[in-house]
Structure 1
Amino acid sequence: MSKLDKTEVLNAFEAAYEAANGNKPEITTKPGWYSIDGGKNLRLAEVAELTEQLTSGGSSEKTVKKAPAKKTKTKTTVPAVKKAAFTVTTENEDGYTAEEFWIVYLARKEHDCRLPRGVM
């Protein structure tokens, strides 16, 4: 096995791809993997094989598939506020908030206790 030079392989692939398709490929690099035009992740050796296929003009099952067209985000209108199926009361029926409940509950214990995390 010979060592492949990453920059040489990618430059050769870009040139072959541009000659075959008329535009430059979009190559996304991840550690050890290369994604061409949003397609399947390939190793550097597989990219070198694709370069050979593109330069020889042969077609194979591993040819580069173009990614589907990117969808542009469109503005969506905010729907009207729906009326809730329940009503929210602002006053506690017990007279305690969650923090107050824990303070009172732990104060009634016979031994010293800490408040739960996030309370005061």
Structure 2
Amino acid sequence: MANLDKDTVIAAFSDAYKKAHGKAPNIEAKSGWYSVDGGKNVRLAQLQEMVDSMSSQTTTKKEAKASSTPSKKKASGPAKSGFSVKDFWAEKLNAEVPGATLPR
């Protein structure tokens, strides 16, 4: 396990948290445990893992946003056939037993 520098990990976490949530985190330190915004206490290594996960989430969000930009070409989806399961069963029940009601 690599030695982690407390100041650099907290600074990196604060930057990643600010990018992900839009506000600075409130980090409380006590006996080697760190509480972020009054949440569950975590160790410094877990804060480093959270930095990595937040940075990967922001990059995937940026990639998804870039790939989901609307293009001028219209995407063709499945054609609507006008078939309704509810209507099908209503017709079937009405044909077999006139005046029958649909089940819930």
Quote the residue 2:16 is aligned against.
16
Mapped to 1, the partners of 2:24 and 2:43 lie a distance apart of 19
Within a 5 Å distance, the mapping from 1:1-120 to structure 2 comes to 1-57=1-57
Mapped to 2, the partners of 1:50 and 1:2 lie a distance apart of 16
Quote the residue 1:86 is aligned against.
none
Structure 1, residues 47-70: CA drift from partner, whole Å, max 9, x if none?
000000000007xxxxxxxxxxxx
Query: 1:3 Cα deviation (Å)?
Result: 0.1
Partner AA of 1:26 in structure 2: N
Q: Which structure carries more relative contact order (alpha carbon 8 Å, separation 6+)? A: 2
Partner AA of 1:10 in structure 2: I
Gaps of 5+ in 2: 59-104
TM-score (norm 2): 0.55
User: How many aligned positions are there?
Assistant: 58
Partner AA of 1:6 in structure 2: K
Q: Alignment partner of 2:25: what SS?
A: coil
Query: 1:31 Cα deviation (Å)?
Result: 1.2
Gaps of 5+ in 1: 59-120
Structure with the larger helix share: 2
Mapped to 1, the partners of 2:11 and 2:31 lie a distance apart of 18
Mapped to 2, the partners of 1:45 and 1:21 lie a distance apart of 21
TM-score (norm 1): 0.47
Q: Which 4+ residue blocks in structure 1 deviate beyond 2 angstroms?
A: none
Partner AA of 1:11 in structure 2: A
Identity of aligned residues (%): 48
Quote the residue 1:101 is aligned against.
none
* Structure number with larger C-alpha Rg: 1
* RMSD (CA atoms): 1.0
Mapped to 1, the partners of 2:10 and 2:28 lie a distance apart of 11
